[in-house]
Amino acid sequence: MQLDLNLLTALDALLEEGSVTDAAARLHVSAPAMSRTLGRIRRATGDQILVRTGRTMTPTPHALALRATVHELVQQAQAVLSPHTQIELAALERTFILRWHDALAAAVGPALLHSLRAEAPGVRVRFLAEASTDTHDPRRGDTDLEAGSGEPSSPEIRHEIAGHDRLVLALRPAHPLCHGPLTIEDYAAADHITVSRRGRLRDPVDDALEARDLSRRVVAAAPTIATALQFVRRQDLVVAVPQLVSRPLLDDLGLCVRPLPLTMPAIPIHLAWHQRYDNDPAHAWLRGLARTALSQACESTGDPARDPADAATDEATDEATDEAAGGLIAE
């Protein structure tokens, strides 16, 4: 029996998208054509592959068992048929979609865009905000590269740590704690604001304080770093924010920045992309420039401004997971 190897590409798209319509859009064919292709795949495999459950399509156990093998075969075929790994950057015309934490895009995005345009003037970049819900699925193909503190959970998503950020204390210059020695007791006694898109009044700082038999009073929660810093700018409040991603706002607002008088884990910055881009030369180039921009930004982040008397209270920062750190923005 002679098989059409193009069915592998269609099967790979169907299993990743879980939808005839979305698979058709991905392969630039009509939905009826993809539906007919699914029929051919069913006849070839002797399995339904995708079955309707309500409004969605669910892969069969046989389809789930095939998924990894099918994807690997498609990747190998693409490598064979596209053996070149060099791209002409000067002639490259492509639009990349980057879904980055907004503060991270503000802090590192300008340097990345400068590097991209210097090497490939025809490239355009769309920076998108992080998804407003937890149901965003990068497998849908609407994102080329993600960056943030969260580690992807799907095995289909590749990721690497491009650097680490750390929490610092931000307060207005007129705040009593802006100058002079800062003890952990002074810090705990201040009025605090948290950063949480879900309005949570507690974050990992509270756990660190409780380990020292201390507690703090959180008077408000702000949904973003930018909002929290506006509160801090106008009132005697303190907030713990990631130094790297907050640096543009801290500089623009003229806020006082001090080391936290307690040890907090470092915050990993993850780059993530779908495995379909592994062998894409242009995407590999994009990842390389993003990796460089992020690592250089992390390396350039020095100690926050402080009085000499503060040296005794500046404790070393431990590297740890994002779960321990609470993320760039707490949920």
Claim to verify: residue 247 and residue 315 sit in the same structural domain: yes
Residue 330 is assigned to a structural domain of this protein: no
Domain that holds residue 260: 167-265+306-325
Q: What is the pTM of this model?
A: 0.64
Whole-angstrom Cα distance, residue 102 to residue 138?
Answer: 17
Whole-angstrom Cα distance, residue 40 to residue 289?
Answer: 42
Q: What CATH number is attached to the domain comprising 115?
A: 3.40.190.10
Residue 258 is assigned to a structural domain of this protein: yes
Claim to verify: residue 205 and residue 320 sit in the same structural domain: yes
Dihedral over Cα of 316, 320, 323, 329: its sign = positive
Q: What total number of domains does the chain contain?
A: 3
Whole-angstrom Cα distance, residue 217 to residue 189?
Answer: 7
Residue 1 is assigned to a structural domain of this protein: no
Whole-angstrom Cα distance, residue 290 to residue 112?
Answer: 6
Claim to verify: residue 69 and residue 21 sit in the same structural domain: yes
Whole-angstrom Cα distance, residue 224 to residue 197?
Answer: 6
Claim to verify: residue 17 and residue 56 sit in the same structural domain: yes
Claim to verify: residue 245 and residue 313 sit in the same structural domain: yes
Whole-angstrom Cα distance, residue 280 to residue 174?
Answer: 52
pLDDT tens, the chain, 331 aa long:
456 778 888 998 898 888 899 889 888 899 999 999 999 999 989 999 999 888 788 999 999 998 888 888 887 777 676 655 678 899 999 999 999 988 889 889 999 999 999 999 999 999 987 765 444 455 555 789 999 888 887 888 888 999 999 999 999 999 999 999 999 999 999 999 999 989 999 999 999 999 999 999 999 999 999 999 999 999 999 999 999 989 989 999 999 999 999 999 999 999 999 988 888 899 999 999 999 999 888 887 654 443 333 333 333 333 333 333 444 444 5
Angle at which helices 6-17 and 20-27 cross, to 10°: 130
Claim to verify: residue 46 and residue 112 sit in the same structural domain: no
Claim to verify: residue 37 and residue 138 sit in the same structural domain: no
Claim to verify: residue 176 and residue 313 sit in the same structural domain: yes
Q: 194 near 200, Cβ under 8 Å?
A: yes
Nearest CA to 238 among 222, 248, 223, 65?
A: 222
Claim to verify: residue 201 and residue 260 sit in the same structural domain: yes
Q: Which of 81, 102, 124 is the last residue before a domain boundary?
A: 81
